[in-house]
Structure 1
């Protein structure tokens, strides 16, 4: 799984569990609460169930800022995820090493010099926030 896919998964899964259970406990638990969280969509599932697009339906807009703020509140270390890709990755429990960030830069088609880590990090943070928005995340303009 790609690094960006892991970022999406951590935020969107946490956000869905957060919306339905209020605690986002473990990866094994969302199955039952997800059905409850999607109760509003239940009347339309009979026509959408046969459509392959149905799995995308639960990925309703996720408030990225709210999810990350909640994660920060529960994290022991104070992290500046709003501006730092390193801190964002740490908050999500992902490898934030330079090699991991270079891999993420490659995934997101960074064309700059990966040896200039400051410029790359700034670009990565903006790109990740933009890609989160493109994939159904509600991201404030100041974070994009």
Structure 2
């Protein structure tokens, strides 16, 4: 699984959206309905089933704040640091993994672990989470 995929799963949980480039899971086809009568009759007329409400988007700030509280490590600054974000999610924040993440997300400059790269990565992760249906505060999705 990709580094971003692991970040996304750690925040949004499995099955809460499809990453770009991944296919949707196979869904079995329902059997074809029998021919319907031309007009409903009292015997076959049914009340329309209510549609389920769409799932609320995952609130990234809430999830990460709760994870931080559970870890009891207030020194992790996940709001601005890609390294701290990865640590909070129990992912290896090594330079090799950040280079891989940079490649996945399309970083075109030197993958040297610079502050520029790390800031770009954090912003790109937040934007990608938002693209995948998460609720990301505007201040984090710049």
Give the TM-score, by structure 2 length: 0.69
What residue ranges of structure 2 are gaps of 5+ in the alignment? 17-48
More RCO (CA 8 Å, sep 6+)? 2
Distance 2:50 2:8 in 1: 28
Pairing partner for 2:59 from 28, 53, 63 = 63
Pairing partner for 1:97 from 73, 82, 94 = 94
Q: Which residue of 1 aligns with 2:83?
A: 86
- What is the aligned-residue RMSD (CA, Å)? 2.0
Distance 1:76 1:135 in 2: 28
Q: Which has the higher helix share?
A: 1
Q: How far off its partner does 1:103 sit?
A: 0.4
Pairing partner for 2:127 from 122, 127, 130 = 130
How many positions carry a matched residue from both structures?
106
Partner secondary structure for residue 138 of structure 1: coil
Measured against aligned partners, the alpha-carbon deviations of 1:26-50 in whole angstroms (never above 9, x if no partner) come to xxxxxxxxxxxxxxxx9537xxxxx
What residue ranges of structure 1 are gaps of 5+ in the alignment? 17-41, 46-56
Partner secondary structure for residue 62 of structure 1: coil
Give the TM-score, by structure 1 length: 0.68
Q: Does 1:75 align with 2:71?
A: yes
Q: How far off its partner does 1:76 sit?
A: 3.1
